Every structure is written in C-alpha cells, then in structure tokens.
C-alpha cells in the first residue's frame, strides 16, 4: 500500500487554488522545486497526471479536477479535526497567516502583531501585504485586515481603532514661493505626488464637502506605488502628497510637513480584523482574536 501525505494533498489544492506553482509554494512555505517534486512523486504514486504544465501556465487535467473535487471535503475535515486537537493545547503555537495592505500593516504592526509575538513567542506570524483584495479563505489565510467597508458580509469583524483620516501635506519649503491651496480644485495649479493603484490606475484624491464626495485628478512629475516612497519625496519638497494620517502624523507634529485642506478630509471607516467563523479553532487563533478585541476595547476607551 502506498503512503500518501496530507501535505501532498494540501499542495494539490494550493496549486489548484492559486493557478501557479510559485504562488502555491509561497503559501506552503517551500521552494517551487520542492513543490514540483512532491507533485511529480504524487502523480507517480497515483499513476495519473493531475496538472498540465507549460513554462507559462498550469491547469488541472480532467483527472485532476475529479481528484480536487473529491479530496477537498476530506482534507477540510482532517484540518478541522486537527484544529480541534490543537485548540486543547495549553501553549499556543503554530503559524497564523494574515493578509492586509501596506498602510494597514504599518498601523497594526506594533500594537497587535509585535505585542502578540511578545506574549506568545511559540507562535509565528506570516504577514502578507498586497494592494488587491483577496479571498482569505480561498487563499489560505487565517485573518484579513482591511477598511470596514471592504470586509465581506459573511465575515466576523473586529474594529481595531477609531475612524481614520487622510492628510494632504507638503514640506514647508514647498510653500516658500507658492500659495497654499484653499479648496481641492486649487491642487490643479500645484505639483503633486501621484500614486498608482495595483490595477494600474492612478489614484484620484478623495475629499468631501457638505457630505458630498469630491475627487481630484492631480498632476505632477513623479508617480509611485508605495506610500513610504511618496513620503520621502514630499519631505524633500518635491510636491504635495496625500496619505493616511497615521503615516505622516509624526512629521506634522515635528513641523517637517504642513497639513492643508484639513476641513476637506473627514473621517473614513476604521480598520477591521476579520475572519470566518470556525469551530474549535487552534489556541493561537483564539488568543490572537482575544488580543484584537483587547486592542479594540482600549481604542474605544481613549
């Protein structure tokens, strides 16, 4: 009788889900070559090819489709059984995978992630940042962190802080020989740092007047796709930038940046930790949720 490994089945499901050996290998925490070898060995044991592979694409064969359809429920049941056992452990351990975007990761890193690791050193956290919204269940994540308005309705959500705000800022030197914008439309006459979204589109700066949204397509010599790079450019007087307030709060307080159009940037939805309902989750999962709720309570008390 051949010996099959649960990790091999997990690998097949990961490749099917991600459509790529490389992406699946990252999810599995192994090299692409090791994953490829594992799949080849499994296919040899089964005596059938599960994937059609070329240098550019990966797809399930007909046999692969049947295999995934039949194996998926059983693998899910096995993992639920393992979660039930792990939930009984006294010391939380294992790995938690969290998906978010860069700005949110910067906001939650110290109060949530680092504090969690201090309290539970036997747990590892795999924090993945990406601009696009993903299905955390399908992509194998335990948690997601997004703005409240982006949390799927079937998820449990924990607000991690108060409402957030955007901030429009520039270095004092930038305004040495320029008028300060009084309304968003004035930005058309200024040099601005533009930001490109993950889908390739340029971000339109969002404002609000008397409850009505106002969007401005700014212009400038520099287009970036990362907030920390844009902050560096703004600090060097290249132009005006549009950030989450948390990214530039210290710079404003220290006088390195000047805030403008403050009345046009009302509060926006807070960040939320979200996750699907799980029966008997592992101990690490439960204590992470407990810490998130503790953070939420402390934020409400401020």
pTM (2 d.p.): 0.67
- Same CATH topology for 94-161+269-301 and 166-264: the answer is yes
Q: Are 271 and 149 in contact (CB under 8 A)?
A: no
Say what the pLDDT of residue 88 is: 64
The pLDDT tens digits along the chain (302 residues) read: 567 888 889 999 989 988 888 888 888 888 888 899 999 999 988 989 999 987 778 899 999 999 999 999 998 888 888 877 776 667 788 899 999 988 889 889 999 999 999 999 999 999 998 878 889 988 889 999 999 989 999 999 999 988 889 999 999 999 999 999 999 999 999 999 998 887 788 889 999 987 788 999 999 999 998 878 999 999 999 999 999 998 899 999 999 999 999 999 988 889 999 999 887 788 899 999 999 999 888 876 55
Measured CA distances, 227 to 101, 161, 162, 192 (Å): 11, 21, 21, 13
SS3 readout for 34-83: HHHHHHHHHHHHHCCCCEEECCCCEEECHHHHHHHHHHHHHHHHHHHHHH
In angstroms, the CA 148 to CA 268 distance is 9
CATH of 94-161+269-301, one of 1.10.630.10, 3.30.110.30, 3.40.50.10440, 3.40.190.10: 3.40.190.10
Residue spans of the domains in the chain: they are 6-84, 94-161+269-301, 166-264
Q: Which residue has the tokens 């401005």?
A: 216
Q: Which among 125, 95, 99 is positioned nearest to 272, based on CA atoms?
A: 99
**Rg (the chain; Cα; Å):** 24
In sequence order, the β-bridge partners of residue 52 are 59
Say what the pLDDT of residue 132 is: 80
Say what the pLDDT of residue 27 is: 81
**What architecture does CATH give domain 166-264?**
3-Layer(aba) Sandwich (3.40)
In angstroms, the CA 51 to CA 43 distance is 9
**Looking at the domain that runs over 6-84, which CATH code has it been given?**
1.10.10.10
Q: Are 116 and 110 in contact (CB under 8 A)?
A: no
In angstroms, the CA 178 to CA 245 distance is 23
């Amino acid at each position: 009788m051949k010996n099959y490994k649960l990790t091999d089945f997990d690998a097949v499901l990961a490749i099917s889900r991600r459509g790529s050996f490389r992406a699946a290998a990252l999810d599995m925490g192994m090299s692409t070559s090791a994953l490829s070898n594992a799949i080849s060995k499994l296919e040899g044991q089964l005596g059938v090819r599960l994937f059609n592979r070329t240098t550019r694409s990966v797809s399930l064969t007909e046999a692969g489709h049947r295999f995934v359809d039949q194996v998926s429920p059983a693998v899910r049941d096995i993992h639920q059984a393992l979660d039930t056992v792990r939930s009984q452990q006294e010391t939380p351990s294992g790995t938690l995978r969290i998906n978010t975007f860069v700005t949110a990761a910067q906001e939650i890193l110290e109060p949530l992630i680092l504090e969690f690791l201090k309290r539970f050193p036997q747990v590892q956290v795999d924090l993945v940042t990406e601009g696009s919204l993903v299905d955390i269940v399908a992509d194998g994540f335990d948690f997601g962190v997004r703005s409240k308005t982006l949390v799927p309705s079937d998820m449990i959500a924990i607000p991690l802080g108060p409402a957030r705000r955007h901030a429009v800022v520039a270095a004092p030197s930038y305004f040495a020989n320029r008028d300060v914008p009084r309304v968003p439309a004035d930005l058309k006459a200024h040099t601005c740092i533009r930001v490109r979204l993950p889908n390739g589109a340029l971000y339109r700066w969002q404002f609000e007047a008397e409850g009505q949204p106002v969007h401005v397509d700014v212009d400038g010599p520099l287009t970036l796709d990362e907030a920390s790079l844009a902050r560096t450019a703004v600090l060097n007087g290249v132009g005006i930038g549009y950030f989450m307030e948390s990214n530039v709060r210290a710079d404003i307080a220290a006088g390195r940046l000047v805030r403008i159009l403050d009345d046009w940037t009302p509060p926006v939805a807070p960040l939320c930790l979200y996750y699907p309902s799980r029966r008997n989750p592992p101990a690490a999962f439960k204590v992470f949720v407990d810490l998130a709720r503790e953070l939420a309570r402390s934020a409400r008390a401020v």
